[in-house]
Amino acid sequence: MKFETRAIHDGQEADLKTGAVVIPIYQTSTYQQEAIGKHRGYEYSRTGNPTRTALETALASLEEGKYGLAFASGVAATNTVFSLLKTGDHIIAGDDMYGGTYRILERVFKKWGISMSYADVDYLSSFEKAIQENTKLIWIETPTNPLLKIIDIERISEIARKYNILLAVDNTFASPYFQRPLLLGADIVVHSTTKYIAGHSDIVGGAIILNDQKLYSELKYYQNTAGAVPGPLDSWLALRGLKTLAIRMKAHAENALYLAKYLSKHHKVEHVYYPGLDSDNNYMVARKQMSGFSGMLSFKLKGDRSAVDRFFANLKLFTLAESLGGVESLISYPALMTHASIPREERIKRGITDNFIRVSAGIENKSDLKNDLSSAFKYV
Ligand code: P1T
């Protein structure tokens, strides 16, 4: 069955007991045992909950993987993947990624004796060059946050396989509608379901999807043992979001392309970052591995920090906020928001300068969005 159908049906059969068409919010912490150890598949809600199971099944189906695991946040899912490593191991991560991922590597895992290198995502060879004897994991985001660079998953998975290294791909920015990394050779897919999957800026959640049974058992064991699981209501909201993922993603991508084209012609804009522009360096790889270019774009304003402040202050539809992937358009300032944990010098070296702005295109009317930007530019 096709994506749109699976999003609505997989893992979401009518409730066995009542026939409820929509999976109930199983708001329970524990489950009756008929005799010691004799239960109906559920013992305790940290270990498993039927609403969460439905979400995990649907997510696995949409990423075309065998197993899904849901978490209380994207960072909890990320943390679980990094927890596969032990002291002395080495991780290679792309040098453009969510600031919180960088933070957990630098502030938590480094302290535990795990080392990391950051490879220049513009050059695949930099990943191979960074490989050490103790490298156990390659971690990439594509599209990257916030520079919207595209990394060739197929080619990087060949490198990972050659050296017997796990490849994890954070697929948050593309969503499974536009990109399915497991089919391109990745071992593990990670999501912040907070974003496109839930899609309405009303929950924080995360997920891991994979095919390998042994690895799944290990990650599931950690999920239960460390306990960063989503509650039944959040699982239910993510599941409800999932049902409309396909139509939302088409609208996000259409609006993002429209805004990217508009911005790229604006005299107050220095540069636009959107992999769907055929002038963008990442366009060809994006076309190869994605079926659409998603809804995130960034740009550099001509001007300094005060110009950025004036621009933001005069927007009416775009909300200045962290996060992305909801139906409403958001605008953010990575330098002091999502990527504030990266030291200034390092951040600027990576391209996140003081005039750098990130946009999450919502699904409002695209002309209204353009007009809002256009009015605010008058104050720059
Ligand atoms: O916020 P949380 O659900 O824990 O997800 C973390 C995360 C993981 N991966 C990517 C690519 C992300 O963008 C994020 C969170 N990002 C933001 C909050 C943001 O505004 O970029």
C-alpha of residue 16 to centroid of ligand 1, in Å: 35
Question: Cis (ω within 30 of 0) for the bond into 50?
Answer: no
Q: Give the per-residue pLDDT at 241.
A: 98
Residue with the nearest Cα to atom 5 of ligand 1? 74
| Cβ of 338 below 6 Å from ligand 1 | yes
pLDDT of the residue at 4 = 98
Cis peptide before 146 (omega within 30 of 0): yes
Strand 206-210 to 188-192 pairing: antiparallel
CATH number at residue 290: 3.90.1150.10
Alpha carbon nearest to ligand 1 atom 3, residue: 74
Same-domain status, 215 and 308? no
- pLDDT at position 174, please? 98
Domain end (from 243, 267, 293): 243
- Are 165 and 131 in contact by the 8 Å Cβ rule? The answer is yes
Instruction: Output the residue whose Cα is nearest ligand 1's atom 10.
Output: 98
Average pLDDT over residues 130-143: 98
Domain co-membership, 32 together with 177: yes
Is 359's C-beta closer than 6 angstroms to any atom of ligand 1?
A: no
Give 342's pLDDT tier (boundaries 50, 70, 90).
confident
Pick from 243, 268, 291: which residue ends a domain? 243
Of ligand 1's listed atoms, the one at least distance from the Cα of 78 is 8
Distance of CA 47 to the CA centre of its chain: 24
Indicate if 261 and 237 belong to the same structural domain. no
321 with 369, same domain? yes
Domain co-membership, 188 together with 282: no
Assess whether 65 and 182 both reside in one domain. yes
pLDDT of 80: 98
Q: Residue 206: CB within 6 Å of ligand 1? A: yes
Q: pLDDT for 283-337, tens place per residue?
A: 999 999 999 999 999 999 999 999 999 999 999 999 999 999 999 999 999 999 9
What confidence category does residue 25 fall into, taking pLDDT thresholds of 50, 70 and 90? very high
Are residues 353 and 206 located together in one domain of the fold?
no
Co-location of 75 and 125 in the same domain: yes
CATH number at residue 187: 3.40.640.10
Ligand 1 pocket, 96 CB below 6 A?
no
Which of the 8 DSSP states describes residue 15? P
pLDDT at 66: 98
pLDDT at res. 126? 98
Measured from the Cα of 97, ligand 1's closest atom is 11
The mean per-residue pLDDT over the stretch 88-107 comes to: 97
Distance CA 172, CA 294 (A): 10
For residue 206, give the ligand 1 atom closest to its CA. Answer: 3
In this model, does residue 243 exceed pLDDT 90? yes
Are residue 208 and residue 109 in the same domain, yes or no?
yes
Say if residue 341's pLDDT is above 90: no
In this predicted model, what pLDDT tens digit does every residue of 151-200 receive, in sequence order? Answer: 999 999 999 999 999 999 999 999 999 999 999 999 999 999 999 999 99
pTM: 0.98
Tokens of 209: 């999807």
Token match 């600031």: residue? Answer: 99
360 lines ligand 1 (CB under 6 A): no
Q: What spacing in Å lies between the alpha carbon of 112 and ligand 1's midpoint?
A: 23
Among 79, 103, 105, 172, name the best residue to mutate to test ligand 1's pocket (greatest count of ligand atoms within 8 A of Cβ).
Answer: 172
Nearest CA owner, ligand 1 atom 2: 74
- CA dihedral sign, ordered 333, 334, 336, 337: positive
pLDDT band at 29 (very low <50, low <70, confident <90, very high): very high
If one counts the domains in the chain, the total is 2
Any idea which residues carry the catalytic annotation?
46, 98, 170, 195
323 Cβ closer than 6 Å to some ligand 1 atom? yes
Q: What share of the chain is helix, strand, coil (3-state, %, to 5)?
A: 40, 15, 45
Alpha carbon nearest to ligand 1 atom 16, residue: 323
Average pLDDT, the chain: 97
Task: Classify strands 330-332 and 356-360 as parallel, antiparallel or unpaired.
Answer: antiparallel
My answer on whether 40 and 12 are in the same domain is yes
Distance between Cα 133 and ligand 1 center (Å): 30
Taking only Cα atoms into account, the Rg of the chain, rounded to an integer number of angstroms, comes to 21
- Using the 3D structure, point to which of 243, 273, 292 is the last residue of a domain: 243
Are both 67 and 203 inside the same structural domain? Answer: yes
Tell which wins on pLDDT, 302 or 341. Answer: 302
Q: Which of 300, 331, 326, 297 is nearest to 314 (CA)?
A: 331
| pLDDT recorded at residue 104 | 97
Distance 290 CA to ligand 1 centre (A): 20
Whole-number pLDDT of residue 16: 86
Report the atom number in ligand 1 closest to the C-alpha of 205.
3
- Could you give the residue ranges of the DSSP H alpha helices within the chain? 3-9, 50-62, 74-82, 99-104, 125-129, 153-162, 175-178, 213-226, 232-243, 245-264, 283-289, 305-313, 344-350, 366-377
State which ligand 1 atom lies nearest to the alpha carbon of 146: 21
Report whether residue 169 contacts ligand 1, using a CB cutoff of 6 Å.
no
Provide the pLDDT for residue 35: 97
> Ligand 1: does its nearest atom lie under 6 Å from the Cβ of 118?
no
Q: Do residues 223 and 359 share a domain? A: no
Q: Could you read off the pLDDT of 252-276 as tens digits, one per residue?
A: 999 999 999 999 999 999 999 999 9
Instruction: Please state the rounded mean pLDDT for residues 244-259.
Output: 98
pLDDT band of residue 131 (cuts 50, 70, 90) is very high
Phi-psi sector, 337: left (phi>0), alpha (psi -120 to 50), beta: alpha
Ligand 1 atom nearest the C-alpha of 337 is 20
The residue contributing the CA closest to ligand 1 atom 17 is 323
Domain that holds residue 52: 3-243
